[in-house]
Structure 1
């Protein structure tokens, strides 16, 4: 084979390797949890994500973190105006021609009321490979989130209409279900046209804006009154309108907007590492969590004490090691990694954990806790209740290794000493007050823009008040246990909710139960369901001083 031929083949191979690929991915109607498994996989592998809507950028950043792909705006030009289909296609093709893996993120479904077909044709014309990943369309997702089925055994036909001046509404005079898109500003005229065509003025109508998000709002009315009711509720695009008898089923099938904390803005003052788990639980109840770090976990200023304790552990100096937090597990594990140690170093050592979460952190490391308090006693006091007394016959060593925070109380140490044990109370990590949150967040805390705040320790109470001020009197205060409740009250806060056991699950469940009871009370008294932040000025409650 000639050198020229080899060079030619290599050039062809290089061109093939550098050829881009485009995945047209449906992002769904708004809720990022409606992304398909395939969509999430492609996003993780993408080098470039070409977005369509402003909310796509924070969604991608939330899903992938700060080290994600390059994000290119494919929905709007530099002048802020929406791009035409042709202009959007040029953006996608340009990125693919650079030999990159491109995800074209599109609202809803790429091939349903979207520019996907035109952009895919542009890729085909340019010789660029592509695939289509269907997404959940707002056509069916938004009504489903509003509790409105589009079909039932008695109503089998559905028509989807993109509203405009050229629609012949006389062809929709029958009783089939109508799903109307882009019809918010025209709903009054559309209703009149449908009534003129033969539909009853009492035909049920529902309009749902920003569906599948925690800002979702639905107005139910009739063709006769929908224009006035939509104006009164200040409905605005984007919204989906459903016309037909199926709308009546919302009264019994509404499930999303009736979640116990639906739309509540909840402040989560925790460490950066711990906040996501709590936020996820709150989202499950319909809340909108906002994480404000109040504590930063850092290594001890002087690591020598910890280094000495780890050496003592390896040399068999201790009978027990007691973990009082997940952070303590993490601190010891990091030291083990630093020294090149593994779980075998714990051989012959008894392990105690303050609760199930700490025990699980140990299990994730490959360790099994020998002593864990049960039920409501998952605390330092509960650990003391089940801790055995030192026995000279049964216990060859009388020493306990206690890796803890620098601000931990001395009650556990004193209790263990009373039981006959000697303690090496070692500072494994420091809890440092975080920087103050942005000014708008501080203002929202003080003026009652948050519906609730969840405190998971006494330090989160002290630090939040220290860096951001005291929450407003209307804000619901939820705490993880009696000690945290006491600290909150010492800072002038009235505790509304206390978890029956010291865990994130119990805390969020208790707050959800409070929200559900509040909602039921408002409905029973004939009042509109409002959030705590939607208070009347005269309804503010005074805090105990």
Structure 2
């Protein structure tokens, strides 16, 4: 029985420009064929699928188009859901039409999920509108490869009166492009800009005119992938430039996180323009004491409060409940406390509302403010490396606390490439004491640290870090502000 093929446009590079429909299809994929221009971060949406790199960079190919189409069909005929992930849009110089024809010839059902084309997105991220009421009401998208064919010379006369010309895949052929445009009557003073790695943190923009753009691109060492825009709209970059003029543009910030953790901090820093180096230092695994976790979940009624200080603790407890044949109703009759807003949101995913959250996020504040009577013990579903602050604060108040290992926090294994990338960072963010200790153990403490809150700051100092800045409150927003202050000196 034939499988199914999704031809998906991955967009120009920024992960946030992937469409929702594409993400949903990727989550169901069994095989993914991806090329050089597709952001590799997209593959995390289909981590359980088979990933096959099919190359296609510039004038060299890892696999020919015929081989790619054949492999696409072969995997689908094995009954699998197959994704063909292509940079930009499927049908804008993406040869998606040929792959669709291969599916039709083999009787394989398929769909096309368009992507945001680099022809429009890349100029936009460079502050160049492809149309503007006062500078351009028409535009055309061309491939630079056509410049290699003399037969295309006459065709270009049709573009003489078009206001904005956008060239994809045209770095090597830029001299030929400029010659042809001058031949058809474009002025040598026509503004032009070439944008490399547009929409990503590696974006570079070279501006000039048809008279000097070739030399400027060569002097700057601009290579593929790049988009060249020709027309008066290029002048608007001076006023509309936004992506590469943000406060942290080009500054390198390491974000230590767990393999399963979200990239929320990384995304916030990218919004500030930083080059974010995300490398996992710790990972989560199932508890080494499953019998203790299960026994505690069966006896929840013997506790006054259940305390969660992490999203992972909630996820582990709910997974264990499910394995016992139970669900959220097991928490009936017991009060629930969380350490902060993100933990409360995670709890809400399971239909549970927190009965208490401290005035300030943090284990110390939770331990000092928890409105427990002390008549019954409280239970904390914690990591194997739980910080002692909560436990100590409750003990000082005369309460009995039962700490249960809900999951393990273990060191991640880093490749030498990951280590080198981290060492290139200007500062490293530490959002927890366990991250500080893991970083010190695996990478050393040479990179100045920006810490989140007093507890993490104390742990980082104890591990041997130099503190560049401490976020006064334990929140991601405050941590981003501390990074900005550390790098910009304000």
Match of 1:468 among 443, 466, 470: 443
In the superposition, the TM-score normalised over structure 1's length comes to 0.76
C-alpha contact 1:318 1:400 (8 A) present in aligned 2: yes
Query: Are the aligned partners of 2:277 and 2:421 in contact in 1 as well (CA < 8 Å)?
Result: no
Q: Is the CA contact 1:283–1:289 (under 8 Å) kept in the aligned structure 2?
A: no
Equivalent residue pairs, number: 480
1:439 is the counterpart of 2:422: no
Secondary structure of residue in 2 paired with 1:293 = strand
Q: Residue 257 of structure 2 aligns to a residue in which SS?
A: coil
User: In the alignment, which residue of structure 2 is the partner of 1:525?
Assistant: none
Residues 484, 225 of structure 1: CA spacing in aligned structure 2 closer, same or farther, 3 A cutoff?
same
Q: CA deviation at 1:434?
A: 1.0
**Equivalences for residues 130-529 of structure 1 within 5 A:** 130-154=110-134, 155-163=136-144, 164-165=147-148, 166=150, 167=153, 174=161, 176-191=163-178, 194-195=181-182, 198-286=185-273, 287-294=275-282, 296-301=284-289, 303-304=291-292, 309-310=296-297, 312-314=299-301, 317-374=302-359, 377-388=360-371, 390=373, 397-419=375-397, 421-429=398-406, 431-445=408-422, 448-472=423-447, 477-508=449-480, 510-511=482-483, 517=488
Cα separation, partners in 2 of 1:368 and 1:205, compared to 1, 3 Å:
same
When structure 1 is superposed on structure 2, of 455-464 and 273-282 the one drifting more is 273-282
Q: Distance in 1 between matches of 2:394 and 2:80?
A: 61
TM-superposed deviation, 1:104: 3.3
Q: CA deviation at 1:277?
A: 4.1
Measured against aligned partners, the alpha-carbon deviations of 1:182-217 in whole angstroms (never above 9, x if no partner) come to 332343454455456554433221100122222221
Contact map agreement 2:313 2:407 (CA 8 A) in 1: no
Secondary structure of the 2:466 match is: coil
Larger displacement relative to structure 2 (213-222 or 269-278) = 269-278
Distance in 1 (CA, whole Å) between partners of 2:251 and 2:139 is 34
1:117-153, CA deviations, whole angstroms, 9 ceiling, x for partnerless residues? 3343444445554443332222222112212111111
**Structure 1: gaps spanning 5 or more residues:** 1-17, 522-545
Query: For 2:258, what is the secondary structure of its paired residue?
Result: coil
Whole-angstrom distance in 2 between the partners of 1:125 and 1:387: 67
Cα 1:180–1:361 change in 2 (3 A) is closer
1:245, CA displacement in angstroms? 1.3
Question: Residues 271, 69 of structure 1: CA spacing in aligned structure 2 closer, same or farther, 3 A cutoff?
Answer: closer
Say whether residues 1:38 and 2:26 are aligned partners.
no
Any idea what SS the aligned residue of 2:142 has? strand
Q: Is the 8 A contact 1:320 1:399 kept in 2?
A: yes
Structure 1 residue 247: Cα displacement: 0.7
Aligned-partner SS, 1:294: strand
Greater shift after overlay, 377-386 or 90-99? 90-99
Distance 1:352 1:125, change over 3 A: closer
Contact in 2 for aligned 1:413/1:423 (Cα 8 Å): no
Could you tell which deviates more after superposition, 213-222 or 328-337?
328-337
1:87 positional shift: 4.8
Q: 1:458 to 1:32 in 2, by over 3 A?
A: closer
What's the RMSD between the two structures over aligned residues? 3.5
Deviation at 1:509, TM superposition (A): 5.0
For 1:88 and 1:300, how far apart are their aligned partners in 2? Answer: 45
SS at match of 1:29: coil
- Stretch deviating more after TM superposition (115-124 or 146-155): 115-124
Match of 1:8 in 2: none
* Bigger-Rg structure (1/2): 1
Contact 1:359 1:368 in 2 (8 A): yes
Structure 2: which 5+ runs fail to align? none
Does the CA contact (< 8 Å) of 1:384 and 1:415 recur in 2? yes
Change (3 A) 1:196 1:484: same
Secondary structure of 1:459's aligned partner: helix
